[in-house]
Chains A and B, each alone.
Chain A
Amino acid sequence: MKSTVLLPLLAFFAFITTDSPAAQPKSLAEIPDASTDAEKAGFIIPTGFEINLWASEPMLHKPVQMNWDAQGRLWVVCSQTYPQIKPGEEAVDQVVVLEDTNHDGNADKSTIFADGLLIPTGLLPADGGCYVANSTEILFLKDTDGDGKADNRQTVLSGFGTEDTHHLIHTFRFTPEGMLSFNQSVYIHSHVETPWGVKRLMGGGVWEFRPETRKLDVFCKGLWNSWGREFDRWGQSFVTDGAGSQGINYVFPQAVFAASPGAKRIIDGLNPGQPKQAGLEIVEEPHFPDDWQGTLITCDFRGNRINRFQLTESGSGYTSKQLPDVLASKHPGFRPIDVRIGPDGALYIADWYNPIIQHGEVDFRDPRRDRTHGRIWRLTAKGRPLSESPDFSKMDVTGLLKQLESSRRWNRLFAKRELRDRTMRNPQNAVAALQNSWKTVMKSLKPENPSSWHLMLEYAWAVESMNLGPLEAELFADQLINAPDHHVRAAALRILSHHINEHPHAMRYLQKAVADEHPQVRLWAVACLNLMQKPEAFALALQALDKDVDNNIDFLLDLTAREQADLWLPVFLGKEGRLPAVQGDGKTPSLPVKHLVYALKASGRPEALQILLDLFASGKLSTDDNAVVLGMIGDVATPKQLDQILVLATRSDGILPSGIAPGDGRMPSLLGMLDALIKAGQRGAKPETGAAEAVVKLLANANQKIASRGALLAGVWKQETAREQLARWTSQSDASPALRLAAIKGSTYLGGQKTRDLFNSLTKPDQSADTRILAINGLAEIAPPLGAERAAEFLASAKSANEAKPVIESFIKNKQLPQLLAKELEGKSIPDAVAVEGIRIVSSRGIKGPLEAALQKAGSIKQMNLALTPEKMNAMMARVKTQGDPARGEQIFRRQQLLCFTCHAIGDGGGLLGPNLVSLGSAAPVDYIIESMLEPSKKIKEGYNMTMVTMKDGQLMAGMIAQDGPDEIVLRDAGNNFHKLAKSNIAKRESSPVSMMPPGMTASLRQDEFVDLIRFLSELGKEGDYKIKPNRFIRTWRIMGQMEQSDVTHVSHVGLKEFNNRNHKLPWSISYSSVNGSLSLNEVPIVSSLYPWLPKVAQFDLQMDAAGKVKLGFNNTKALILIVDDKKFDEVTPEMTLDLTAGIHVVTVIVQTRNETNPGKTRDTKTMPDLRVEILDGAAKVVTSP
């Protein structure tokens, strides 16, 4: 049978390049047995569950999405044409209806409802027919003569993009109020004419559509492949992503997620570092155990398994915890892509079946692409009764309404559908029946009973789904909006959002909701106010600032401020007079200053600055607001406005000229003003008057912090008179490092022959290394050839790679500098460590040209022959299989000098520059991994290309585009630093064909080590020890390095709690847990002089969106001390419950190594168990930062 199995499909990670089928890795030829028996034998099913094959080919082929109808028939959309129609081929894709007519747990009937479709990717039976995504359009197919086949075909919407056929619109679902929800993926651009105007969506997003009004709206934007959406019982919805890696995403109106083109700011998913997922189901089904209720099920199609998540409310959103897998498979062809609970309560799994998953990366015409198989599997809980589905068509309205009380979502959903269908057929009857029943419900409503309110909500949704108009909806609105349960109040606002501009009391409701005690209600209030698109609505939304503002709420306020600035800004600035910005004549209500500052700042508009500047000058702003205004001054202030700031900074009653004591409360404000002036100066903006006098005063100031800012201002303002003073400071031994740096920078800005001579003298070997580095850096800017000469001299005698690094970095800032340095290195010899560091910097920044070769030669680094011949590759793969030791491989992966974690995460711990390796082994063949390691540029994963940006001033930046906004891009460089680059300053952008991962990273490894490393990587994500467990282990740590004696003395004096004082700079470094969740204590040094504890110190940060309890679990408690914020726990128990407020909390774990029998000596730490800490319960997020 092997010969009939065809490989491949989907795709999102560029695992295989596409030269030709022959160039495919050979391991892909290891095609598994495609029989259903073989596939079934591969399942790993948890105790208490069983699985059976419900349907398979020829009943269906290549299922893409599925949904049930009220009669318990499963509608599946199938595409064999995917990925691309071939010239001469007909459109042959199908809608198949599967049925288990004798209820024995196996489908026994398959009907082709429709064919002749072209790569259909979504469907939903509804309204007496079926909605189908058919490439560019949504069709409504109807069977009018009852023969089971569609005979009527209507185009409902058209204009959806097809730029990528695995991105086509998909994931058709019902919203709780009966709309059609569907998603589109990242490459799609849609332009849809509707009776409400043309709707456009560029990139990914979620659409919602009401068929009878033909109203189509974008609900939220972004995500790569949002292949799952489902609603919980309160109408909140969640989306999964088949190419992002953040697990479950909580979506709300206007939210913007990763990958949305032009996004200035995005919302993160709830499970960073998760594998990619398709499909989503939320369990509300008594056939499943109680602890499954409300949990989310989604498919990790790459890892051949099905995941489950549990949500906890947190602030306006949620935290998500991964639970043990629903099931897994050892069969590489098992590709679950959709999950739905069926009429009997079992979980049905659409298995697209394909041994590998690729879209663009495998040739569309590769004969190994599987275009025939497809299965539906059925998972049941052993010993638990199956559910029965009622016949909704036979129920009267009262009976249907009774179903809305059901704990099964199935019953509630299809009862609402039936009510809707009847209303469409006979509106009067349905409405009358509903109104009678409604009165009964109102009477029986018990405000203290939550289920009573849920029923009320279901009623409201039923009414909405009949689309009876705002009047009927209003029956409910007054009740719901005042419900005691915040879920109901938030859900009421979702209903309101659909009538936002028609509802007569919308503003009144929202006035209350924006001040609601629950943040989720406030979030939805802000969302509704955003949708209104009116200045007064925005002014009201700003009232959310008066309560706790979490990230979601802040996101929406900020977005509204930016996107609707044209609407509200003229009004707020008083030009149109309705909402004067500040208290004027006392007659009109004014906005609180805090609201005004927030809005004006978020708008980013220069015209907003003057009013802020006046507020700043009058001293009316809070410290935070002051910082905001100063930031804007640096960015956009005019010379006249800079005058105003300069006067403030140097006025007589201020700190000048008498000096200001450190600790004076005015100090931050003064420094802030000076920094703002410097920032403005760097963009060439200078006060109109007073610059020269100010510089004199500043330079004379006794406080070096002020004087150093004076030095910088002297430079950016080109104050020649200051030159000599600056020159003196550059080599004055009692000047602080900051002052010397400022003097050098100031001199650089001044430029000219004098600066050149000064710097030249400072680069002499008799100067300290720090001074030389600074001077070389300065020369690189003002006299590049001379700088290159000095740099080459410096490198030749550099003592370490660290010392060399800043010098090399000075010479990669534009395209000319690397060439100059390369020339100067000719014939010179530099230490090999310096050369290796240089090569690493140069290749990871994408610098082309001769510098890399020059460094190689100067450092006598041997050229590695990196590419393997096919024979050698085969031999290497065999060795990996037979000799590779994944445990040793993990140790190698963790070695500092290999820098793996600098760029790559495994799960939720590690760098973000390169692809997450969490399921590398289960998704990529071994030869792919080997090749990626040896020749990184051959296999660049999609979305990880390096971009080279040339600025208009010639500066060159390289990195990954983290955000591509309308006015700026954010570049993440190889050192994981973010750079915001204004688009107006960018001259050119190029995508580099060179990987950011330099070749030869593994050159230092012996072959056995290389084999172990590859083995480790190839095990990642496969069933076994190297699959990340769902437990919420702390995976990102700060560990304490070697402390200075002065710091040790300080901590001894103040106490261990001082470790939690983040303002006290200590030598922390980031470390990540192993795949099994443990932090290896061998990698944490002992702080040897810190008596009596002689501790190893590790620390992490927890973020809470709202106050709550968090339970931490410890694998070992012996010799531990725990410090949470400023609270110290000398007794650590295996489970510790912490009561945490909203915000970020620092948690330190101290492992004492003191030898109890011989104090002053350490214990044998090799026998100490590794540290494994887990969040057992609570809505805490790990946010450990460097």
Chain B
Amino acid sequence: MKIILRLILPVLFTFSSARAGAFEFKDGDRVVLLGGTIIEREQKFGYFETQLALALGAKKISVRNLGWSGDTVFGTARSYFGPPAEGIERLTKHLEMLKPTVLISCYGADLAFDGVAKIPAFITGYGSLLDHARAKCPSLRITIIAPPPLENLAPPLPDFMQANANLASVRDALVDFAAKQNAHFVDGFDLMGGARQERPAQPLTDNGLHYSEAGYKIWTSMLIEGLGLKRQDVVSAGTVALRQAVIRKDFLFFNRWRPANETYLFGFRKREQEKNGAEMEQFDPLVDEAEKKIAQLKADALAVKKLP
């Protein structure tokens, strides 16, 4: 019951501040999720795709998670041995491969610590990132998500009030940015309750920053609503099976796009293992198969839902 209460309260709070209007998904959309740790770890739970698939009903979409822990709008974490610019280059190659029609992007969490002085550079970098993405995928529709507030979990963890003030400023900057980019905006900061001094009775994070499973359940529901869709049941047996299939697909895809031994398969020592780099493409049919299973389980879950 507590969870339900927690779900409802922020929602009520939300509708006043979130931008009006829904994001329109089309049949056949290929969605890419992009960002740092919070996006990367979503693939361990699969709640977002599960809810999105169910919320869109008959419309078929696919979702690929390109989140990377510690990443920034400059591609810092994707760059391996090179400068961040190589991270952006790598990202655009991945976008080229996936040809997304929808980009859902959540950056800016690092500014909680870096401070507001970095916001102008962040916004410029974000613009450049989206330019790169649009150059590869001209008809890309974009949703910008403001990073959620940090939970003040009390010592020995640090006090996050300044960090949250910074994140509120990031949100403000992103509102303008999204408008200028003609992108949909989801106020993930307010949706998750904004800055709060007191320790939550039931924290959603382990460390103030990163959601546990319970946190992901709520955060993804908020995102679904922020996109103008209806949150979905993720508890029934059919949806649990669907979610497991999503997690399975994400695992296969992770090993495909971000394989271990990059140095030997594609990097400066590829002379040694280049031929095994070809194995990565062997993941594609496995991912396709996993997609089919997702489609089947989604159909099953929707059918159950329609039953009186």
Report yes or no: A17 in contact with B267, Cβ–Cβ below 8 A. Answer: no
Report yes or no: B206 in contact with A360, Cβ–Cβ below 8 A. Answer: no
Report yes or no: B263 in contact with A187, Cβ–Cβ below 8 A. Answer: yes
CB closest chain-B residue, reference A153: B44
| Bound form: Cα–Cα A14–B268 in Å | 14
Known A-B contacts A189-B79, A193-B36; the reply to A198 vs B259 at CB < 8 A is no
For residue B308, CB closer than 8 A to chain A, the reply is: no
CB closest chain-A residue, reference B78: A191
For residue A666, CB closer than 8 A to chain B, the reply is: no
Cβ contact of A212, chosen from B44, B156, B259, B276, cutoff 8 A: B156
Known A-B contacts A159-B70, A360-B263; the reply to A88 vs B37 at CB < 8 A is no
Report yes or no: B210 in contact with A193, Cβ–Cβ below 8 A. Answer: yes
List B49-89 residues whose CB lies under 8 Å from chain A.
Answer: 68-71, 76-77, 79-81
Report yes or no: A162 in contact with B157, Cβ–Cβ below 8 A. Answer: no
Report yes or no: A193 in contact with B267, Cβ–Cβ below 8 A. Answer: no
Category for how many chain A residues contact B:
35 or more
| Bound form: Cα–Cα A365–B276 in Å | 8
Cβ contact of A159, chosen from B77, B261, B263, cutoff 8 A: B77
Report yes or no: A364 in contact with B273, Cβ–Cβ below 8 A. Answer: yes
Binds A, one of B13-21, B125-133, B192-200, B278-286: B278-286
* A591 to B: closest C-beta gap in Å: 30
Report yes or no: A193 in contact with B261, Cβ–Cβ below 8 A. Answer: no
* A516 to B: closest C-beta gap in Å: 31
Report yes or no: A158 in contact with B40, Cβ–Cβ below 8 A. Answer: yes
For residue A214, CB closer than 8 A to chain B, the reply is: yes
List A160-192 residues whose CB lies under 8 Å from chain B.
Answer: 161-165, 168, 187, 189-192
Report yes or no: A200 in contact with B273, Cβ–Cβ below 8 A. Answer: no
Q: Which residues of A contact B260 (CB under 8 A)?
A: 84-85, 119, 135, 162-165, 168
Q: Which residues of B contact A192 (CB under 8 A)?
A: 69-70
* A263 to B: closest C-beta gap in Å: 15
Report yes or no: B158 in contact with A155, Cβ–Cβ below 8 A. Answer: no
For residue B113, CB closer than 8 A to chain A, the reply is: yes
| Bound form: Cα–Cα A359–B70 in Å | 28
- Chain A 466-499 interface 0/1 with B at a Cβ cutoff of 8 Å (1 = within): 0101000000000000000000000000000000
List B3-47 residues whose CB lies under 8 Å from chain A.
Answer: 36-37, 40-41, 44
Report yes or no: A163 in contact with B157, Cβ–Cβ below 8 A. Answer: no
Report yes or no: B77 in contact with A191, Cβ–Cβ below 8 A. Answer: yes
Report yes or no: A195 in contact with B272, Cβ–Cβ below 8 A. Answer: no
Cβ contact of B69, chosen from A85, A88, A159, cutoff 8 A: A159
For residue A197, CB closer than 8 A to chain B, the reply is: yes
Q: Which residues of A contact B177 (CB under 8 A)?
A: none
Q: Which residues of B contact A197 (CB under 8 A)?
A: 113-114
Cβ contact of B80, chosen from A18, A119, A161, cutoff 8 A: A161
| Bound form: Cα–Cα A991–B268 in Å | 10
* B302 to A: closest C-beta gap in Å: 29
CB closest chain-B residue, reference A157: B69
Report yes or no: A195 in contact with B207, Cβ–Cβ below 8 A. Answer: yes
* A42 to B: closest C-beta gap in Å: 30
Report yes or no: A85 in contact with B255, Cβ–Cβ below 8 A. Answer: yes
Q: Which residues of A contact B81 (CB under 8 A)?
A: 163, 187, 189, 261
| Bound form: Cα–Cα A363–B177 in Å | 48
Report yes or no: B157 in contact with A214, Cβ–Cβ below 8 A. Answer: yes
For residue A684, CB closer than 8 A to chain B, the reply is: no
Q: Which residues of A contact B282 (CB under 8 A)?
A: 87-88
Known A-B contacts A158-B40, A193-B37, A195-B207; the reply to A163 vs B261 at CB < 8 A is yes
The winner among A164, A189, A359, A469 for most chain B CB atoms within 10 A is A189
CB closest chain-B residue, reference A199: B70
CB closest chain-B residue, reference A83: B261
Report yes or no: B267 in contact with A163, Cβ–Cβ below 8 A. Answer: yes
Q: Which residues of B contact A753 (CB under 8 A)?
A: none
CB closest chain-A residue, reference B71: A191
Report yes or no: A189 in contact with B80, Cβ–Cβ below 8 A. Answer: yes
- Chain A 351-367 interface 0/1 with B at a Cβ cutoff of 8 Å (1 = within): 00000000111011100
| Bound form: Cα–Cα A136–B79 in Å | 15
Report yes or no: B207 in contact with A194, Cβ–Cβ below 8 A. Answer: yes
CB closest chain-B residue, reference A14: B272
Q: Which residues of A contact B251 (CB under 8 A)?
A: 91
* B16 to A: closest C-beta gap in Å: 30
| Bound form: Cα–Cα A189–B84 in Å | 12
| Bound form: Cα–Cα A479–B37 in Å | 43
List A1-31 residues whose CB lies under 8 Å from chain B.
Answer: 14, 17-18
Known A-B contacts A86-B279, A187-B263, A195-B158; the reply to A154 vs B206 at CB < 8 A is yes
Q: Which residues of A contact B258 (CB under 8 A)?
A: 162
| Bound form: Cα–Cα A291–B137 in Å | 69
For residue A1158, CB closer than 8 A to chain B, the reply is: no
Report yes or no: B110 in contact with A198, Cβ–Cβ below 8 A. Answer: yes
For residue A213, CB closer than 8 A to chain B, the reply is: yes
Known A-B contacts A158-B37, A162-B260, A195-B209; the reply to A87 vs B286 at CB < 8 A is yes
Known A-B contacts A163-B267, A164-B263; the reply to A214 vs B207 at CB < 8 A is yes
Report yes or no: B209 in contact with A18, Cβ–Cβ below 8 A. Answer: no
Report yes or no: A364 in contact with B276, Cβ–Cβ below 8 A. Answer: yes
List A432-476 residues whose CB lies under 8 Å from chain B.
Answer: 467, 469
| Bound form: Cα–Cα A159–B210 in Å | 13
Known A-B contacts A87-B279, A154-B212, A187-B263; the reply to A193 vs B110 at CB < 8 A is yes
| Bound form: Cα–Cα A168–B263 in Å | 13
Report yes or no: B264 in contact with A191, Cβ–Cβ below 8 A. Answer: no
Report yes or no: B262 in contact with A87, Cβ–Cβ below 8 A. Answer: no
List A59-116 residues whose CB lies under 8 Å from chain B.
Answer: 83-88, 91
Report yes or no: B276 in contact with A363, Cβ–Cβ below 8 A. Answer: yes
Report yes or no: A158 in contact with B158, Cβ–Cβ below 8 A. Answer: no
* B215 to A: closest C-beta gap in Å: 12
| Bound form: Cα–Cα A303–B206 in Å | 45
Q: Which residues of B contact A155 (CB under 8 A)?
A: 41, 44, 210
Report yes or no: A360 in contact with B273, Cβ–Cβ below 8 A. Answer: yes
For residue B170, CB closer than 8 A to chain A, the reply is: no
Report yes or no: A213 in contact with B41, Cβ–Cβ below 8 A. Answer: no
For residue B109, CB closer than 8 A to chain A, the reply is: yes
List A119-160 residues whose CB lies under 8 Å from chain B.
Answer: 119, 135-136, 154-156, 158-159
For residue B305, CB closer than 8 A to chain A, the reply is: no
* A715 to B: closest C-beta gap in Å: 40
Q: Which residues of A contact B (CB under 8 A)?
A: 14, 17-18, 83-88, 91, 119, 135-136, 154-156, 158-159, 161-165, 168, 187, 189-198, 200, 212-214, 261, 359-361, 363-365, 467, 469, 942, 991
- What are 11 A-B pairs at a CB distance below 8 A? A159-B70, A163-B80, A164-B260, A164-B261, A192-B70, A195-B157, A200-B76, A360-B272, A363-B276, A364-B261, A365-B276
Q: Which residues of B contact A (CB under 8 A)?
A: 36-37, 40-41, 44, 68-71, 76-77, 79-81, 109-110, 113-114, 150, 155-158, 160, 206-210, 212, 251, 255, 258-264, 267-269, 271-273, 275-276, 279-280, 282-283, 286
Q: Apart from A84-B260, A165-B261, A200-B70, list 11 A-B contacts with CB within 8 A.
A: A83-B261, A84-B261, A156-B206, A158-B37, A162-B262, A164-B262, A164-B264, A187-B263, A194-B207, A195-B150, A195-B208
Closest 6 CB pairs of A and B: A191-B70, A159-B69, A191-B77, A87-B282, A197-B113, A162-B260
